[in-house]
Structure 1
Amino acid sequence: MLQSFFFDSVASQSRRPALWVDERLYSYGEIETRARRVSAGLAAVARTSDARRCLLFGHRSVAAYAGVLGILDAGMAYVPLSPKMPATRIAAIIEQSSAPLMLIDRRCAASLDEVLRLLDERPQIFLLDEDADEPHLPSVAAALPALPAAPYVQHPGTAHDVAYILFTSGSTGAPKGVPITHANADAYVTGQLKLADKVHEARYVQFCELSFDPSVHDMFVCWANGGCLYVPHTVDPVYSAGFIKTHEITHWNSVPSLAGFMQQMRKLTPGAFPGLRVSMFGGEPLPRSLALAWMRAAPNSRVLNMYGPTEATVACTCFEVTAEFLDDPRHTVMPLGWALPGVELLIVDAELEPVAAEQTGELLIGGPQLAGGYLSPDEAGNSRFVAKTYPGRRAQRWYRSSDAARAATQHGIVFQGRLDTQVKIRGNRVELEEVEHVVQACSHAALCAVIPWPFDEVGRATGLVAFVANARVEIALILRACRQRLPVYAVPQRIVAIDSFPLNVNGKIDRMALAGQCARGEVAA
């Protein structure tokens, strides 16, 4: 069970530090006490409802982390919500999850009223226990009941139970849920423990939100190693650089963009982070220039480039960056590398038949980390989970990643781009169709197209531009509506009204032509 990685460490080192958050250090024993209290309270509440899922609306607080462990320990799946999401998206996730219970910390309580106004059916909401001296308690939180006190009863559970549900960008205009079982998560964490040697008094840092799956790595790989998880209150690049030094962080995990911002702020000076031992990057391509700068700044650290969709549990490949690899200037972007333990990879053509060596095709992912499908059985994306056997392969189910790739003899899997309309913006998955749904709905335009633009020097999209066929649209109103309904990273940077769309030979919108207009500076917001 996923929570066992934490509780097994408690048994051997209850007094050692497990979590640093809000300028305070908490021991394994202290977090265990809080988590067991949450678990007992949830068990008492759910005794008559048979609740299997629990929403967690917490943000960088000890209550949020105790909530994760407590929900799991109660035999439920946690469904994380982030206050950085628009209220409409939070409400959509709540409705899709069908979770009857919600735990909320005081920090997120101020956002609760706006969310609840959008719901037809509300879950039962409880305020998570926090320190008594927490300042500025929102009035809405004061009205929420706390979880009832109850005797702790251990819930056995099975490896096939769902551990957590994360929601990713959906092509239909609504987020889609990905249920990950304890078996999926256990396979990932166990593989990670084989990947990197144990570091004495390890200190992991967590920059991402609990709603982003690298958080699973940060928490449970850290606690499985008996380390302490450090949670900064901001991901500001200047603050992050100082945070590494002040807290002597040993394990780093982030999207390359965060390190890129630090590089722009001239924080990656040679030898800046001598205490780092393992540095992991994922979620978007890692360029050679950034890898070089990071290795100089962290000369004692291994640098690992990770890849994997949420549907395959956090990450499924790894490439260890070496000085020898970086010496060749032709290596502009780091490869995806090799499969993690237990993971199987295959590159196939449009008929799902294996391609020849070194040929480009679609990357298939199989193995014990693979989710069983999306939360909704009607989700169109379920067609990307296919049942198929291949000679010499153990996996019988595969996930079609929609990533174009080829297998290189020396460096493993090499990413070649996307096969669909999904892009990554600062490491976050964005379905362009979802953004188009929102733009079209609020602009009432006859046609709408959203393209990634601009790109950085290694071809990573850094923003979006939306084109609408309606010269009378109110651009400010469209942008405002997008900010209300989309995560900040998915909001177009520009809305461009055009008289007519360029079309390709098939009569479809020619997105390459639109990108060409952006490149030539022919569009104006």
Structure 2
Amino acid sequence: MDDFEQQFQTQQAWHATQDFLSSVTAHATRPAITIADTTLSYAALHTRVQTLAAAIAEQETAATTPVTAIYASRDIDTYAAVLAALSRGHAYVPLNPKFPPERNRYILERSGAAHLLHCAESGPAVAEILAAPSTTGDAPLPRQINTTQLQESRQPPARLHDNPYAYILFTSGSTGQPKGVALRHSNLSAYLDATFAVADYRADDRLSQNFDLTFDLSVHDMFVCWRAGAHLIVPTAHDLEAPADYLHRHDITCWFSVPSLAQKMRLQGALAPGSLSHLRLSLFCGEALPVDLAQDWARATTQRVENWYGPTEATIACTRYVLPSNPDAITGRFDLVPIGSALPGMSTLVLQEDGTPAGPGDSGELLMCGPQVADGYLEDAEKTAAAFVIPQGQELRHYRTGDRVEVTQDGVLNFIDRIDNQIKIRGYRVELGEIEATLREAATGCNAVVVPLPLKSANPTSLVAAVEGYDGPGRQIREAIAGKLPDYMSPNRVLVMQQFPKNASGKVDRGEIGKRVVKRLEKQNTAAGPKKLTRYDRLIQFAQEVNPALARSELEQAENLMDAGLDSMGFVDFTVRLEKQFNLELTQESAAELSRMSLWQMVDFLRRALAPQGKDRFQPPAANSLKTPELKRNLHYRAMRALDMLDKFPGFVSETQKPLLLCIGSSGFMRGICTETIETEAQALGQDLRAANLGMAMLSVAGIAEVCDYVRETLQAQGRRLSHAVIEMEIMQLSIMPPAGDIEILQDFKAGAFKGIERKYYDADTIWDSDSGGTIARSDKPSSQAAPQANWERKRAQEICRAFEGQLKMDDKAVAAWIKGVQSLQQVSDRVTAVIHPIQHPEGTAGLKQARQGSNHFSGLIDQARQETGIEIMLDTDFTLRSEDFKNISHVNDHNGRQSFSAQIARHFLR
């Protein structure tokens, strides 16, 4: 044994090459690895490892970053390269041939890899990676080593490095950039110790290796095999197309895969009872395991089957569940097999939304703790701090998995779904997994994925189901589940796919399924429409272009487009198409009127709007045309949020004894106030309070003043006071050009005028959720493209700029109503602060200050408000916001803009 091997054998801490070297000594002539028609013994593989290690040694220095990248082809040198890199004291980082060159270049640079090993056949692909645009601009390119050109060489010299990390993997990032996770030798050691404590891997076992090296489950296959001295049999790409043939041909005894591969075998008819009886141990991991698939696999193997669970950040797997020997006894929440309990050395913690531990029967986010948990994300302190936490009442660091689980009476964990797969639609919280379980039951033996539309919307309005491998039309499944789910959970459409797309890890690719669903719907909608389009057909076409899930029949039956499933932002997009197609000059008033119309009413609208000049020329409705007694019939859909708040606010006040902070205003506050951010900022300043967002769309200044009265009456009735009240001073509402269609509803609400109106929750603008304190759903990421802007929006933006520059007069009645609302809040508040929401002015803050110099209507309004109420006013120019924080000229976006806006407000009045 050479010098560098002696170092690993004699060192006290375990090293990832140690088990392999022990097996080389104990099982030199036994087969170690087979790929295609090539098999190497442990001794032969060891020789190849030394050759590659020597090649690395020739290029490295003491100053070299101890990280080696491997272009992970399915050949023996790839696996030898893993051991060679480790033997030089390097961490290995795999590059996936399925990844775009830009992604692999990013991984190379973020990992700091100094060497890149690849075979000759992969040379052109590697050249593309190195030619891809740099993400850092100054990162040196790694030294290439062509493994094909290496012949057997001398033993490598003593190693120069001792990287504490064994491997670095990059997981998908929510912002589009992969997150680097470095796992220590100690993390891997803890995992292997736990695995061998519960599983009896032996030297005569023949292990599968179904994963690309960029998927951390591949680490299990390699290092479990080498610790046991067993035989690793790597399937080719062709083998993975017919996995059952691969299993039989190589007499695999220990199986490890994602459930999707087993589903593929089932669709190929390869899971007949007893057909896989040579498999003595089967483990599934990486995805939720459906109960019916587990039952079919258990009947096919008649042997031990387990469901393992774990994120990359906690080293491969950290919980396990042994399936009952009787397949009929396999059950689970949403027809998914439980993920069980923690592996030896690990512990689980399930936290409910309020941060308290979940008890039996409760659900919440799963957190993992123990020696398998990684340090964090490479060079990303912000993401590390968010995911690796010390929960309240705990002493040790935990990893937040982002998975929702249920705790059973006996402590077993049932997987429910990803937390981000819980959506809110029409005001209801919905677990997509529950819908998918119902679909799988109706389509026996098939997998199902539910796609919320519009894609990536924080407030989806439609659900479309995709079912894999069903041999009939999708409408049969929709008919089969009719009545089994509430209306808001029933998919609008069910599409059948022969096979679901998979990502590079072999998992079902939900994102790609969503894209394919949209393309299928667009194609179906185009085919279903008439070839010659009338104005009526054009309207349907525009709505379906915005949201392809909207069926023609649903659009035709709906009272308005929102009732059919279009959200408020989608409606703006609809008006953009309308203006362009018909060369319309819509105003804010006419756009508001359109949002209330059915398709046939829109056709009549177009007829009048496009009629020749004269007395019949269409005129927009007056802004005050929607007052009572016609209010009930014409209530704008966005005013539903105000009705929702009026119903729920008294209960919200009574449910908490903490000091209350309320933010009251227009749609600017509705969009911009994040109660969680305010509460967090307050805690940082030593104040424990409960915040609420009472921002409302479609309420006039008088309507918001009514809300202030309602708050006062509610608090007085319950004997409560506010710690803080923050009221928006909305400049446009106070001007002589207020928003179109704004209304007051409180008196009608008290009189019972809305009791007969069905509460329809169309999107975020129509929901007031007491659990979140009225905060609307947050977008998963900022949009990469600017939203389309209608002509009427551009005109309105010009009016807003004029008002903020002080050029527009104020409406005396509106100002008086606002002051009355402030005075109502002062009766029940310890402190009242007014806030002016900033705008995205073309000239920025400096331009606004310049425009306001001297006497102007804006300054006059501020002076009057301060004199008559005595309250502090936080001006729009007091905020520091970036252009990317805005959704449009007068609203911050639902992503970072909201958090920044809310944090600055909180720090201002809580300091």
On the 8 A contact 2:53/2:85 being kept in 1, the answer is yes
Query: Between Structure 1 and Structure 2, which shows a larger proportion of strand residues?
Result: 1
Q: Hey, what's the Cα distance between the residues in 2 that align with 1:454 and 1:122?
A: 49
- Give CA deviations for 1:16-40 in whole Å, capped at 9, x if unaligned: 1000013111000111111122222
Alignment match, 1:320: 322
Uncovered stretches (5+) of structure 2, i.e. residues with no partner: 1-14, 424-431, 442-446, 458-500, 520-544, 548-568, 571-761, 768-774, 781-911
Cα deviation 1:263-318 (Å, max 9, x = unaligned): 0110111221221111010111111111111111112x210100000000000000
Query: 3-state DSSP class of the match of 2:313?
Result: helix
Comparing 455-464 with 40-49, which one deviates more in the overlay?
Answer: 455-464
Which residue, out of 63, 76, 82, partners 2:77?
Answer: 63
> Within 5 Å, which residues of 2 pair with 1:424-463?
455=436, 457=440, 461=449
Change (3 A) 1:184 1:328: closer
Give 1:125's aligned residue: 143
1: CA distance between counterparts of 2:778 and 2:435? 19
Q: Following the alignment from structure 1 to structure 2, what is the Cα–Cα distance between the partners of residues 223 and 7?
A: 9
Q: How does 1:461-476 map to 2 (within 5 A)?
A: 461=449, 467=455
- Aligned partner (choices 193, 196, 199) of residue 199 of structure 2: 196
TM-score (norm 2): 0.46
CA contact (8 A) 1:452 1:464 kept: no
1:190–1:128 CA distance, 2 compared to 1 (3 A): farther
Q: Is the 8 A contact 2:212 2:504 kept in 1?
A: no
In structure 2, distance between residues paired with 1:487 and 1:238: 15
Distance 1:454 1:105 in 2: 46
Pair member with larger Rg: 2
* Corresponding residue SS for 2:170: strand
1:125: Cα distance to partner? Answer: 3.4
Q: Counterparts of 1:465 and 1:503 in 2: how far apart (Å)?
A: 12
User: 2:402 matched to which residue of 1?
Assistant: 402
Structure-2 residue corresponding to 1:152 = 156
Residue 37 (structure 2) pairs with residue 54 (structure 1): no
1:428-458 superposed Cα distances (whole Å, 9 cap, x missing partner)? xxxxxxxxxxxxxxxxxxxxxxx99995627
| 8 Å CA contact 2:52, 2:80 repeated in 1 | yes
For residue 253 of structure 1, report the CA deviation from its aligned partner: 0.5
Q: Counterpart of 1:397 in structure 2: which amino acid?
A: R
Which range moved further: 111-120 or 77-86?
Answer: 111-120
Partner residue, 1:307:
309
Separation in structure 2 between the aligned mates of residue 255 and residue 462 of structure 1, nearest angstrom: 19
Q: Which position in structure 2 is the counterpart of 1:265?
A: 268
TM-score under structure 1 normalisation? 0.78
Kindly tell me: are residues 147 and 354 of structure 1, through their superposed partners in 2, closer, same or farther at Cα, counting changes over 3 Å?
farther
Q: Shift of residue 239 of structure 1?
A: 2.1
1:348-370 deviation line (CA, Å, top 9, x unaligned):
23454323333212111000000
Compute the displacement of 1:379 (Å). Answer: 4.5
Aligned residue number for residue 99 of structure 2: 85
Contact 1:385 1:400 in 2 (8 A): yes
Secondary structure of the structure 2 residue equivalent to 1:229: strand
- Residue deviations 1:310-345 (CA, integer Å, cap 9, x gap): 000000000011134733666622101010010011
Q: In 1, Cα distance between the equivalents of 2:356 and 2:777?
A: 28
Take 2:517 and 2:140, find their aligned partners in 1: how far apart are those partners? 36
Give the direction of change, closer, same or farther, for the CA distance of 1:201–1:284 in structure 2 (3 Å limit): same
Partner Cα separation in structure 2 for residue 380 and residue 466 of structure 1: 27
Distance 2:318 2:92 in 1: 22
Amino acid at match of 1:323: S
**Aligned ranges for residues 86-485 of structure 1 at < 5 Å?**
86-120=100-134, 121=139, 123-130=141-148, 151-155=155-159, 161-234=164-237, 239-299=242-302, 301-324=303-326, 326-327=328-329, 332-388=335-391, 390=393, 396-410=396-410, 412-420=412-420, 455=436, 457=440, 461=449, 467=455
Distance (whole Å) between structure 1 residues aligned to residue 456 and residue 338 of structure 2: 36
Aligned length: 451
**Structure 1 residues 329 and 172: alpha-carbon distance in aligned structure 2, compared to 1, 3 A threshold:** closer
- State the Cα RMSD in Å: 3.2
- Conservation of the 8 A alpha-carbon contact between 1:45 and 1:148: no
Give 3-state SS (helix, strand or coil) of 2:414's partner: strand
Counterpart CA distance in 2 for 1:161 and 1:336 is: 30
Secondary structure at the residue paired with 2:401? strand
SS at match of 1:33: helix
1:498 aligned residue (546, 550, 556):
546
- Deviation digits for residues 9-66 of structure 1, max 9, x if unmatched? 1111111100001311100011111112222222231114322211111211111000
Cα–Cα, structure 1 residues 230 and 289, in superposed 2: closer, same or farther, change >3 Å? same
Q: Which moved more, 1:63-72 or 1:270-279?
A: 270-279
CA distance in 1: counterparts of 2:453 and 2:434, whole angstroms: 6
Letter in 2 for 1:275: H
Q: Deviations over 1:174-231 (max 9, x none)?
A: 0110000000011111111111113351000111100000000000001111101001
Any idea what the Cα deviations from partners look like across 1:479-524, whole Å, max 9, x if unmatched? xxxx9x999944332446407436222555899xxxxxxxxxxxxx
**Matches of 2:313 and 2:332, distance apart in 1:** 32
Cα distance change, pair 128–326 in 1 and its aligned pair in 2 (3 A):
farther
Give the superposition deviation at 1:4: 1.2
> What CA distance in whole angstroms lies between the structure 1 residues aligned with 2:243 and 2:171?
26
Query: Quick one: structure 1 residues 113 and 152, their matched pair in 2 at CA, closer, same or farther if it must change by over 3 Å?
Result: closer
> In structure 1, what is the Cα distance between the partners aligned to 2:312 and 2:505?
17
Offset of residue 464 of structure 1: 8.7
| Distance in 2 separating the partners of 1:338 and 1:228 | 29
Paired-residue identity, %: 32
Q: Is the 8 A contact 1:453 1:462 kept in 2?
A: no
Deviation at 1:390, TM superposition (A): 4.7
User: CA offset at residue 129 of structure 1?
Assistant: 2.7
The amino acid that maps onto 1:129 is T
What per-residue deviation string (whole Å, max 9, x for no partner) do you get for residues 228-254 of structure 1? 100111266662101111111001110
Name the CA distance, whole Å, in 2 between partners of 1:291 and 1:65.
31
Paired amino acid for 1:285? A
SS of structure 2 residue aligned to 1:276: coil
Structure 1 residue 256, shift from structure 2 partner: 0.4
Q: Secondary structure at the match of 2:420?
A: coil
C-alpha distance in 2 between matches for 1:218 and 1:407: 30
Q: Residue 44 and residue 187 in structure 1: after superposition, are their counterparts in 2 closer, same or farther (change >3 A)?
A: same
Q: Which amino acid aligns with 2:248?
A: K
Q: Which residue of 2 aligns with 1:432?
A: none
Instruction: Provide the C-alpha distance between the structure 2 equivalents of 1:89 and 1:328, rounded to a whole number of angstroms.
Output: 41
Alpha-carbon distance in structure 2 between the residues aligned to 1:328 and 1:148: 52
SS in 2 for 1:461: strand
Alpha carbons of structure 1 residues 22 and 313: separation in structure 2 relative to 1, 3 Å: same
Q: 1:411 to 1:348 in 2, by over 3 A?
A: closer
C-alpha change, 1:192 and 1:157, in structure 2 (3 Å) is: farther
Considering fraction of residues, name the structure with more helix: 2
Structure-1 separation of matches of 2:217 and 2:191: 11
* Alpha-carbon distance in structure 1 between the residues aligned to 2:192 and 2:393: 27
